[in-house]
Amino acid sequence: MSPTSSSAPQQRKATIASWVGTTVEYYDYACYGLAASVVFADIFFPSSDPLVGTLLSLSSFAVGYIARPLGALVFGHFGDRIGRKRILVLTLTMMGLSTFLIGVLPDHGQIGSLAPVLLIIARILQGVSAGGEYGGAVLLTTEHAVRGRRGLLGSLVNTGTTAGLLLANLVFLPVFAMDDSAMKEWGWRVPFLLSAVLVVIGLFVRLAVEESPEFDEVKQRSAVRRLPVADLFRTSWRTVLLVALGIISAGTAFTMASVYSLTYGKETLGLSNDRMLAVLLPGTVVVMACVPLFGWLSDRIGVRPVFLGGAASLVVLPFAWFALMDTRQYGLMLLGMALLLAGYAANYAVVPVYFAGVFPAAIRFSGMSIAFTTGLIASNAIAPAVATSLQAATGGWLTTAFYMAGASLVSIVAGLLLRMPEEPAVVPAASGAAAAPVALPQDT
């Protein structure tokens, strides 16, 4: 941290504001993923072959991730030029409006081929706004944080990922319980329209936060870059590549659990949507509990060991997950989901402090956003479609499990090569001891 570190109230406000924004972002994304898995194939991509419709629907899900790097380039530039706070207000507003738009779109039966075109445009707007949202939210928290708490506070932002998923699933639960005609006619729209309420709450909280002291220090030193993205690729292209590869394990595991599991349960196991949600929802509670635990642990034993341990577990756990899912026994299915998501939690918990910490402050928004969103294309964006294609081609889950394991091996290699210029100090828990400031890496 800079010498003018944040006060404790501002640290709390920054963490809450980042958490709310991340929750809204992943609520919106989870809503789209759930609808794409269950509903959109029929109402936006009707086809004589159900598999083709499902693949088209899941491909539209991927479009949002493909659009993220554009948002990362634009918002990363301005986040490094004018500050974190103003960009985060803009991205949250844009995300909410695009999600609300999806909720009022006419379907294929009403306007024909224009319906999927409008859906994809709205999905692209979702992706562009999300391209700047997560990176900025992470920085707002970690740049306000102090020694011995960066791992924990950064991990709390990541619980917003699961909170958004949990909230979306809870909202969709009564929707999936509707009769098929009511769900397809109007029921699926309700979760998207409710996003407007979350955005208003998020904006209220976010406007109360001060600008990051790290960015303020960059301005005071007159170190704001004219073209931060250009400087990023000139000086830190290798770091961008490693961060992008590093997120693949967590991104693949999360999307397989939260999106593909519904498709697999319905198409392969013959289980209802509400049955699969009854497996997924308790699994999200596991993530909510484990992510802060691993964030706290990283403040004590170091960031890299926790990151690498989580990625290593995700090499093995996909095989257990599929095997337990195939039993169709609720308790065993729940165990498999909990194991997979616990491994994901360990790997993902330290992403904020680890990946933000490898970039200098003046190019950090650009670096974090571009690397993170690029990695999501190679993980979250393609995982459901790849898994569906592998299942169709082989008739079994073994190749899909190997695909997930391979993604985790890539992240292990990236994690081994990635270095933080200044690792956070390991601070023993001392009762009543005040936390001393610590700096994220500065410009050279």
Chain mean pLDDT for the chain = 85
Q: What pLDDT was estimated at residue 306?
A: 96
Asked if residue 77 has pLDDT above 50, the reply is yes
Q: Where are the domains of the chain?
A: 8-417
| Separation of CA 147 from chain center | 25
340 or 29, greater pLDDT: 340
Average pLDDT for residues 64-79, to the nearest whole number?
Answer: 89
Question: Class of the 8-417 domain?
Answer: mainly alpha
Would you call 423 helix, strand, or coil by DSSP?
A: coil
**pLDDT per residue as tens digits for the range 7-34:** 777 788 888 888 888 898 889 878 888 8
Which secondary-structure segment (H or E) carries 128? Answer: helix 114-142
**pLDDT per residue as tens digits for the range 318-334:** 999 999 999 999 999 99
DSSP string, 343-412: HHHHHHHTHHHHHHTTS-GGGHHHHHHHHHHHHHIIIIITHHHHHHHHHHHHSSSHHHHHHHHHHHHHHH
179 or 420, greater pLDDT: 179
**pLDDT per residue as tens digits for the range 174-192:** 898 888 888 888 998 999 9
List Cβ neighbours of 74 (8 Å cut-off, separation of 6 or more). 128, 131, 132
75 or 109, greater pLDDT: 75
CB contact at 8 A, 336 and 325? yes
Note the pTM of the prediction, 2 decimals: 0.80
Query: Please, what's the largest Cα pairwise distance for the chain?
Result: 67
Cα distances from 201 to residues 12, 23, 68, in angstroms, run 16, 11, 24
Q: What pLDDT was estimated at residue 346?
A: 96
